[in-house]
Amino acid sequence: MKYVDVKEVFAEIPDEITLAVSISGCPIRCPGCHSQYLWADVGDPLTVEAVSAMLESHVGVTCLCMMGGDQDPAEIDRLACWVKENSKVRTAWYSGRSELPTEISLSNFDYLKTGPYDAASGPLNVRTTNQRLYRVEAGKLTDITHRFWK
């Protein structure tokens, strides 16, 4: 699994200073995707060492959000587990799948976004979206998608 870029963002996870890691090799390939460059298998390997370096060089972030990685959910889960065990940073995963894969352990995440982009439904910040953002609390998913709506 590879990543293309890393950005500090404020809009992906409510109330968090998020380090968003864009993962390439997306198998979902949603029509109308705004990040089609992530469909190709390009970039640098996303390893524990790479994640560690990212966190060390972005002091002050409160959440690491892996954007994509649907081609290897077990690796996404492993990296999230490492972050949980080795930092105070919260973890999030943006998946294009409609349902969470069995390889994902809720205990490794604080936030999970599910759902492919559907142009007719719109993105997370509109009420008609098919996508959902959940806060993971005590092993349960609480839908917080409404936090994006104006």
Q: The pTM is what? A: 0.95
Helix or strand run (H / E) with residue 8: strand 2-9
Torsion, Cα 90 22 2 129, to 10 degrees, reads: 90
| Res 2: pLDDT | 97
CA–CA distances in Å: residue 16 to residues 51, 61, 110:
18, 8, 11
User: Which residue type is seen at 34?
Assistant: H
User: Which residue type is seen at 70?
Assistant: D
Across the 150 residues of the chain, what is the mean pLDDT of every consecutive 10-residue run?
Answer: 96 96 93 88 97 96 96 97 97 95 97 94 94 96 94
